[in-house]
Copies of this chain bind each other. A is one copy, B any other.
Amino acid sequence: MTTEAGEEVRATPDTGDEERLARVALSRVVEPGDERVGRLVAESSAAEVWSALLAKDLQVTGVDGYQLRLPEADPHRDLERAAAAGIRVLVPGDDGWPDRLDGFGVKAPLLLWVRGEPGLDALTDRSVAVVGARAATDYGEYVAAELAADLADRGWTVVSGGAYGIDARAHRGALAARGSTVAVLACGVDVAYPRGHETLFAEIARRGLIVGELPPGCTPTRFRFLERNRMIAGLTAGVVVVEAAVRSGAANTARWAERLGRPVMAVPGPVTSSMSAGCHVLLRSHTAECVTDAAEVIEVVGRIGADLAPVRRGDIDPREALPPEPRTVLEAVPARGSCTPDRLARLTGVDPRRLLGILGELESDGWVDRDEGGWCLGELGRARRRPPAGDTSGGGA
Asked whether A272 lies within 8 Å of B142 as measured between CB atoms, the reply is yes
Known: A286-B346, A325-B351, A346-B285. A292 touches B269 (CB 8 A): no
A284 to B286, CA, bound (A): 11
A291 to B271, CA, bound (A): 9
Nearest CB to that of A293 among chain B residues?
A: B271
Question: Is A70 an interface residue when CB atoms closer than 8 A count as contact?
Answer: no
A286 to B346, CA, bound (A): 8
Asked whether B284 lies within 8 Å of A289 as measured between CB atoms, the reply is yes
CB contacts (< 8 Å) of A296 on chain B: these are 284
CB distance from A289 to the nearest CB of B (A): 7
CB contacts (< 8 Å) of A351 on chain B: these are 324-325
A324 to B345, CA, bound (A): 13
A144 to B332, CA, bound (A): 36
Asked whether A290 lies within 8 Å of B268 as measured between CB atoms, the reply is yes
Asked whether B271 lies within 8 Å of A143 as measured between CB atoms, the reply is yes
CB contacts (< 8 Å) of A286 on chain B: these are 346, 349
Question: Is A267 an interface residue when CB atoms closer than 8 A count as contact?
Answer: yes
A250 to B283, CA, bound (A): 21
CB distance from A193 to the nearest CB of B (A): 30
A271 to B277, CA, bound (A): 14
A284 to B265, CA, bound (A): 10
Report the copy number of this chain in the oligomer.
2
CB contacts (< 8 Å) of A279 on chain B: these are 268
Nearest CB to that of A352 among chain B residues?
A: B324
CB contacts (< 8 Å) of A293 on chain B: these are 271
CB distance from A297 to the nearest CB of B (A): 11
Question: Is A280 an interface residue when CB atoms closer than 8 A count as contact?
Answer: yes
From B143, B270, B283, B285, give the contact of A283 (CB < 8 A).
Answer: B283
Nearest CB to that of A282 among chain B residues?
A: B290
Question: Is A276 an interface residue when CB atoms closer than 8 A count as contact?
Answer: yes
Nearest CB to that of A324 among chain B residues?
A: B351
CB contacts (< 8 Å) of A325 on chain B: these are 351
Question: Is A353 an interface residue when CB atoms closer than 8 A count as contact?
Answer: yes
CB distance from A84 to the nearest CB of B (A): 45
Question: What per-residue 1/0 map shows which CB atoms of A125-160 lie under 8 Å from chain B?
Answer: 000000000000001001100000000000000000
Known: A280-B292, A346-B285, A346-B286. A270 touches B269 (CB 8 A): yes
A354 to B325, CA, bound (A): 11
A276 to B276, CA, bound (A): 15
CB contacts (< 8 Å) of A324 on chain B: these are 351, 353-354
Asked whether B280 lies within 8 Å of A268 as measured between CB atoms, the reply is yes
From B267, B271, B283, B349, give the contact of A271 (CB < 8 A).
Answer: B267
A276 to B267, CA, bound (A): 12
CB distance from A3 to the nearest CB of B (A): 47
Question: What per-residue 1/0 map shows which CB atoms of A216-235 lie under 8 Å from chain B?
Answer: 00000000000000000000
From B268, B285, B291, give the contact of A269 (CB < 8 A).
Answer: B268
Q: Can you list 17 A-B pairs with a CB-CB distance of less than 8 A?
A: A142-B272, A143-B272, A267-B271, A268-B276, A268-B280, A268-B283, A269-B270, A270-B270, A271-B293, A280-B292, A283-B290, A284-B290, A284-B291, A284-B296, A286-B346, A324-B353, A349-B349
Further contacts, 4 of them, CB under 8 A, given A268-B271, A285-B346: A271-B293, A284-B296, A290-B290, A324-B351
